Each structure stands twice: as C-alpha cells, then as structure tokens.
Amino acid sequence: MSKIILNDKKPRIYKYNSTKEYVDKFPCAYRQYKADSHCNVIHGYSFTMRFFFGTDHLDVRNWVADYGGMGELKSFLDEQFDHTLLVAEDDPEMELYKQLQERGIAKLTVLPKLGCEGLSSMLYNYMNGVFIPDMWGPGEAERLWCYRVEVRETQSNMAWREGHREWGEDLFDVDG
C-alpha cells in the first residue's frame, strides 16, 4: 500500500491585511503556443493585478503597506506589460518576434511562463524577493509579506499565486 504524503504548507493568517489593485491597466498580447485551442494564436487582454499584503505589526503610520510607495512597482508593471507582446522563452517563433521588435512593430517581454498562473508566480517572487526588500528595505521585508498575487485576464478568468515566508520557498526559482 502506497502512502500519500500531504503538503504541510498551511495558509498563514495575518492580523492585518491590505491590497493594492491595478484594474485593466496593462494592455498586452500573448499566445499560449502549447494550447490546443484558439489561445495558441496571438490575442490580447488588459490585465488586472491585485497584490495582497499581510503583517502582524503595523508600521509607524499604522499601515500594512505604503500605497504611495508603490510608484516603482507601477513603473515595473508598465515596463513589463503595458503595450507589450509577452513571449514564452521557449516559443518556437522567437526569431519572428525578435524581428518584429527590431522593426519597431512590437515591444517584447520574454518570460519563462505565460498565462495568469505563470505571471502571478513571477510577480509573487518579484514582490517578496526584489521589490519589498530593495524598495522598502530589509526591515519592511521582515515585517510584511505579499502573500497573494492575482492576475485577471477577463471578468471570468483569473489565477493567483499564494505563499508565505514560513514556507521557505526559493523566490528566485522560476519553476516555483
């Protein structure tokens, strides 16, 4: 008889929570070249992204997260997603996409994984591994955590990535 080992990663409940949401802010195009449906052709969305922050201790202003201090995040998201063509790094048409960019027809963003799941995972890792410690400092990185990132294509299609510091995940693992 085989034994099933359940994942012991339990959700962390924070005393204080807040969200930052960008609604329909990032118009871009991409394709899921491995899909067996119409998703394997270039199509576009205006993504909505929502970031969930949690902590047990508010900062000196009695805030979970400084919404006004997210200008660099918005700039990063604009650079990655606003009027871009998202391309999977293993897409067999990569050379064609590069030619489109060279001709000024497309602005490429090459990523390891596409789809709402891949994008939310990349953004979760970025928030906790780069943005919070680099932009807000190590003290804030210890005090709060971006425990969930949602990426929405349409009103009916959305995926998210969730995690917690206590899970000890490698934030620089693109497969994570």
Strand-strand pairing, 43-55 and 16-30? antiparallel
Residue 7 lies in a domain: no
Q: What predicted TM-score, i.e. pTM, was given to this entire model?
A: 0.89
For residue 49, the domain's CATH number is 3.30.479.10
Residue 39 lies in a domain: yes
pLDDT at 125: 94
Total tally of structural domains belonging to the chain:
1
Strand-strand pairing, 145-152 and 158-162? antiparallel
- Domain with 138, as residue range(s), is 16-167
Distance CA 25, CA 124 (A): 18
Residue 5 lies in a domain: no
The CA angle 119-114-110, to the nearest 5 degrees, is 95
Residue 172 lies in a domain: no
Contact criterion met (CB below 8 Å) for 117 and 161: yes
Average pLDDT per block of 10 residues along the chain, 176 residues long: 56 92 95 94 96 96 95 96 96 97 97 94 95 95 96 94 84 68
Residue 1 lies in a domain: no
Residue 77 lies in a domain: yes
Distance CA 52, CA 146 (A): 5
